[in-house]
Structure 1
Amino acid sequence: MSFWEDFWDIFWWLFCVYVFLAFLWALFAVIGDLFRDDKLSGWWKAVWILVLAFLPFLGLLVYVIARGKGMTERSMERARTNREASDTYIRGIATASPSEEISKATALRDSGTISADEFERIKSKALA
């Protein structure tokens, strides 16, 4: 009988693969959190790494129970900081300074592309 002939063997194999991948994801998330935490000393980081190396399931469970709330808070703070930096960068790239907008409008007015009324409207919008 082949492995692929029994549905429950396939189901069990897929379940074991899923559990293993979930364990690896959690392990890497914990290790990443360990090294991003500025408040934890290097010695405690080393102790946690040793515990995770020799007792991986138990160490992962204890870490999530003991430091899970802080892990979430650090993750949320990091996401907020990244979002603010991204928003600042986008605002800096997307909008020109008022003096740049007025100088562009002046060049358009001088070339005859826009009228004096349009120039005044752009100028007042840039200064607002």
Structure 2
Amino acid sequence: MDSYPLLNLFWTMLWFFLWIMWLFLLFKIVSDIFRDDDLSGWGKAGWLLVALLLPFIGVLVYVIVRGKSMGQRDIRQAQARNAAFKAYVREAAGTEKGGHVDDLAKLAELKDRGALTDEEYQRAKTKLLV
């Protein structure tokens, strides 16, 4: 039973965890290299070769040199996805500026204030909904 002591198990698990963490970082860096619009094709090829041929040093150098801009690209991409999602929701719900919901609310308000008669309100409402 003592052929593999608890401390050795701890060190094995630690090295395994660090290796998995490094793999995640390597995939993140490779995806960031291809996502970056500021890098030319040769720049992308160069960073990719450094990251893949000198894996540990290449990953560390990339994080040191381009880590801040990598975070900024992540933030821009998340903001763009969020804006696209919100635009889709607004479009699907019909609440775009000048959309039918806003126009109907304005018509109802005009009718409530007495600026429109029932007949004018119905005509405008039919025109909006058709």
- TM-score (normalised: structure 1): 0.71
The structure with higher relative contact order (CA 8 Å, sep 6+) is: 1
* Structure 2: stretches of 5+ with no match in the other structure: 105-117, 126-130
**Correspondence list, 1:1-128, <5 A:** 1-3=2-4, 6-95=5-94, 97-98=99-100
**1:94, 1:14 → 2: CA distance?**
50
Task: Flag as ranges the 4+ runs of structure 1 deviating above 3 A.
Answer: none
**1:44, 1:8 → 2: CA distance?**
44
Most deviating of 26-35 and 46-55: 46-55
1:2 CA displacement? 4.0
Q: Aligned letter for 2:92?
A: I
Question: CA RMSD for the aligned pairs?
Answer: 2.5
- TM-score (normalised: structure 2): 0.70
Q: Identity of paired residues, percent?
A: 39
1:95 CA displacement? 3.4
Q: Aligned letter for 2:18?
A: V
* Structure 1: stretches of 5+ with no match in the other structure: 103-115, 124-128
Matched residues, number: 104
**2:47, 2:64 → 1: CA distance?**
13
